[in-house]
Amino acid sequence: MPPISILIVLAAQPTLAAPVIGGQEESGFPSVVSLGAEFGSSMVSMCSGNLITPRIVLTAAHCGEGIPESVIIKVGRAFFGADIEAYDHAIGFEEYLSHPDYVELTGFQLGSNDVGIAILAEDAPVEPTFVNRVELTDADIGRAVKSVGFGVHNAEAGTGSGIKRSADLTLDELREQFLVAYATDDGTTICSGDSGGPQFIDVDGIWVQAAVHSWADADCVHYSGSTRTDLTWEWVLDEVEAYHGSRDLCEINGWYDDDVCSTLCDEPDPDCFADTGDTGGEGPKPGGCACASTGSQSTAWAGLGLLLLGLGWRKRR
Higher pLDDT, 17 or 219: 219
Q: Which domains does the chain have, with CATH numbers?
A: 1-259+294-317 (2.40.10.10)
Rounded to a whole number, what is the distance in angstroms from the first to the last CA of the chain? 31
Mean pLDDT of all residues belonging to the chain = 78
- pLDDT (tens digit, 9 = 90+) per residue, 9-19? 333 332 223 34
Task: Work out the pLDDT band at 26, boundaries 50, 70, 90.
Answer: confident
- pLDDT (tens digit, 9 = 90+) per residue, 109-145? 888 999 999 999 999 999 999 999 888 899 999 999 9
pLDDT at res. 204? 84
Whether 22 has a pLDDT exceeding 60, the answer reads no
pLDDT at res. 274? 61
Whether 298 has a pLDDT exceeding 50, the answer reads no
Say which DSSP state 67 is in. Answer: S
What would the DSSP string read from start to end of 94-112?
A: EEEEE-TT-B---SS---B
